[in-house]
Amino acid sequence: MINILLSGDRPRSILLSVILLVILVALALAPFLFPGVRSLETAARICIFIVLVASYDLLLGYTGIVSFAHTMFFGLGAYGVALASIHMGRGFDALVVGSALGALAAAVLAFAIGLFSLRVRAIFFAMITLAVASAVAVLVSQMSELTGGEDGLNYLVPRELTPAFRFGEAFGIKLNGRLLAYYLVFASCLLLFLVLLRVVNSPFGRVLKAIRENDFRAEAIGFRVVAYRTMATCLSAAVAALAGSIFAIWLRYVGPDTTLSFSIMLDILLMVVIGGMGTMYGAVIGATLFVLAQNYLQTLMGSASDATSALPLIPDLLSPDRWLLWLGVLFILSVYFFPTGIVGRLRGVR
């Protein structure tokens, strides 16, 4: 059963299996294990980023395509839900229509970019995606009547997904729409992740890996490399858009900073590299570590700074204001000690 769910792609390391299981259980029971708004926000963000990073891994880790347009697709999905909710009114139909149209728009745009630019060398493709993503971000900021510009859009999601919808209490936790929204996020993300796992372990995924390793060889045994690369780009874009839709359902707000900014693109890249490219499970580890660090490193450093206040220099170094510096140091160390990512390293030691 587990083998079928994981499409035969087991973690292949006991330690990795344990870590993944801990993450799964922690996310599945997050509202009960870590009560509180902040922890629930963090758990939901981890779920969404796992899917977003996994969809990017399909592109970078499995197909060898460097793209800087992934947040653009993420944003398309998010804006799809926002615009549908505003124009159709609050309701699950708006969420479904918005998500579907967002994913479709992302796939079509990815198809257009892929068709025109996947024939060129990798570096030019990366530059083209960067240019298109920047252009879309500027467009979204400027078309304020439609997109809300820099202020973004607020909208209503179905009442069943809001804190106002209450339906009892369990284990001392109030059961409300926010909890339902969290489990919608969790279940959707789990499903999308398993779908991606199925894709990379299918014959299609095998061809992508072959293309990543040597596109000329793949072409010489009969695979149309541009067609496969374009399909991978479309699929990856559609899944990123769905992740964006889930994010929009959870946040009930979209804006350029939360869905389209280049800093999110950099975060995705870091999560893929830290977790381990071309492994899918790397997305789980990378996203979990990174989002936890983003949300709790500052607090942790504040406590450490207070605890070492009697010592010279150290409290300054551990000042919460320097959290980005330490995040950078952690990234450099992880790349140095885990060049194949944490998953690659764990699989290596068995």
| Part in contact with other proteins (CB under 8 A); list of ranges 75-83, 141-149, 179-187, 222-230 | 222-230
Structure tokens given for 318: 């551990």
To other proteins, the closest distance from the beta carbon of 84 in angstroms equals 38
For position 10 contacting other proteins by CB under 8 A, the verdict is no
Q: Closest approach of Cβ 277 to other proteins, in Å? A: 11
CB under 8 A: which stretch of 140-148, 179-187, 221-229, 338-346 binds other proteins? 221-229
Q: How far is the CB of 200 from other proteins (least distance, A)?
A: 12
> Residue 105 CB, nearest distance to other proteins (Å)?
30
Q: Binding residue for other proteins (CB under 8 A) from 86, 104, 219, 330?
A: 219
The count of C-alpha atoms lying within 13 angstroms of the C-alpha of 246, restricted to the half-sphere facing its C-beta, is 28
Question: How do beta strands 153-154 and 253-254 pair?
Answer: antiparallel
Cα(96)–Cα(68) distance, integer angstroms:
27
Q: What are phi and psi of 280, to 5 degrees?
A: 65, -50
Q: Nearest approach, Cβ of 10 to other proteins (angstroms)? A: 13
Q: How far is the CB of 207 from other proteins (least distance, A)?
A: 7
Give 158 or 205: the residue with its C-beta nearer to other proteins: 205
Question: How far apart are CB 278 and other proteins at their closest, in Å?
Answer: 8
User: Closest separation between CB of residue 202 and other proteins, Å?
Assistant: 9
Among 90, 174, 198, 209, binds other proteins (CB under 8 A): 209
Candidate ranges 31-39, 166-174, 177-185, 214-222; the one touching other proteins (CB under 8 A): 214-222
Among 70, 178, 212, 347, binds other proteins (CB under 8 A): 212
For other proteins, the closer of residues 160 and 219 by Cβ is: 219
Of the pair 203, 312, the CB lying nearest other proteins is at: 203
Give the chain as a 3 state SS string: CHHHHCCCCCCCCHHHHHHHHHHHHHHHCHHHHCCCHHHHHHHHHHHHHHHHHHHHHHHHHHHCCCCCCHHHHHHHHHHHHHHHHHHHCCCHHHHHHHHHHHHHHHHHHHHHHHHHHCCCCHHHHHHHHHHHHHHHHHHHHHCHHHHCHHHCEECCCCHHHCCCCEEEEECCEEEEHHHHHHHHHHHHHHHHHHHHHHHHCCHHHHHHHHHHHCHHHHHHCCCCHHHHHHHHHHHHHHHHHHHHHHHHHHHCEECHHHHCCHHHHHHHHHHHHHHCCCCCHHHHHHHHHHHHHHHHHHHHHHHHHHHCCCCCCHHHHCCHHHHHHHHHHHHHHHHHHCCCHHHHHHHHHC
Q: Which is nearer to other proteins, 156 or 226 (CB)?
A: 226
User: Is 203 a binder of other proteins (CB under 8 A)?
Assistant: yes
Decide whether 12 or 87 has the Cβ nearer to other proteins.
Answer: 12
Is residue 220 close enough to count as binding other proteins by CB under 8 A?
Answer: yes
Pick one of 112, 164, 206, 332: the residue that binds other proteins (CB under 8 A): 206
Give yes or no for residue 12 binding other proteins (CB under 8 A).
Answer: no
Q: What is the CA radius of gyration of the chain?
A: 21
State which of positions 223-262 bind other proteins (CB under 8 A): 223-225
Q: Write out the residues near other proteins by the rule CB under 8 A.
A: 203, 206-207, 209-210, 212-214, 216-225
